[in-house]
Amino acid sequence: MTQTITPNILVSISGKPKSGKTHCIMTFPEPIKLFSFDLGAKLVRAKFPDKQIDVVEYDLPVVDSLSGDVPWATPFWQKVRKDIYDAMDSGEYQTIAIDPFSVVWDICRFSFAEEQNRDKLGKARDYGEPNARCRGFFLKASLVGVNLVVTSYLKDEYKEDKQTGNLILDGWKHTIGMVDIHMTLERTGKKNVATIEDSRFGFDLIGHKFEMPTYEDLSILLGL
């Protein structure tokens, strides 16, 4: 009998706090390795007692100035990158998750600024190297064949220095272009509602909404 192999997918989930992003991650195929840079992952983990989910929580340093004398971002970035790459290379996990990727992007770009002996990233050309480093996570996941799920915060959209009233992904701006599916999560009453915002599987999926999203919902929708 021929064994059916489900292809891996790269997924981006954005939303406000408490909209169900971490819960959705934990519905993906196990074993799962979740790299958490926010509070609450272990609380959500407790709702899935029968699944193999390894949670790594990072204590973020308290940074009250970007011009401090002691570099913090570079050693932190090097550890985070190694931890995630090692998990992908281990062959032990079907799903790797980074929650939220917004924080990893900040660590990455501040690390590069430290390497260049600058207090802040300046001109646009300075972002080439940080972009390449963040892109590496997505390319690596595709290469080794694991599911990758990244979450992001939301922020107000501005045009000509005025708020448009819309919310957009806060973090690495190339995230959506690197994934197969990008969806937003919003809490509506007592339910979390997902909306497909971008899809590599066809335009007909864009705008599709479903409540309390899970990996199974996505796999059925995508025909995996």
**99 neighbors 28 (Cβ within 8 angstroms):** no
Task: Read off the pTM.
Answer: 0.89
Residues 24, 32: contact at Cβ < 8 Å?
no
* Residue 3 within any structural domain of the chain: no
| Residue 100 · residue 37 · CB < 8 Å | yes
Domain total for the chain? 1
What is the DSSP code string of 24-37?
HHTTSSSSEEEEE-
- Distance (Å, rounded) from C-alpha 139 to C-alpha 202? 21
Nearest C-alpha neighbor of 181 from the set 52, 40, 14, 5? 14
pLDDT per residue over 133-143, tens digit each? 999 999 999 99
pLDDT band, residue 7 (cuts 50/70/90): confident
Range of the domain at 84: 10-222
Is 171 within the bounds of a domain? yes
Which CATH number covers residue 152? 3.40.50.300
For residue 178, is it within any domain?
Answer: yes
Residue 4: inside a domain: no
Considering the domain boundaries, does residue 1 fall inside one?
no
Q: Is residue 2 part of a domain?
A: no
Angle between helices 73-90 and 128-144 in degrees, nearest 10: 20
Whether residue 55 is contained in a domain is answered as: yes
Is residue 70 scored above 90 in pLDDT? no
Task: Report the candidate in 14, 10, 20 with the shortest Cα–Cα distance to residue 224.
Answer: 10
- 39 lies in some domain: yes
User: Over the stretch 141-193, which tens digit does the pLDDT of each residue have?
Assistant: 999 999 999 999 887 778 877 788 777 788 899 999 999 999 999 988 889 99
Count helices and strands (H / E) in the chain. 7, 9
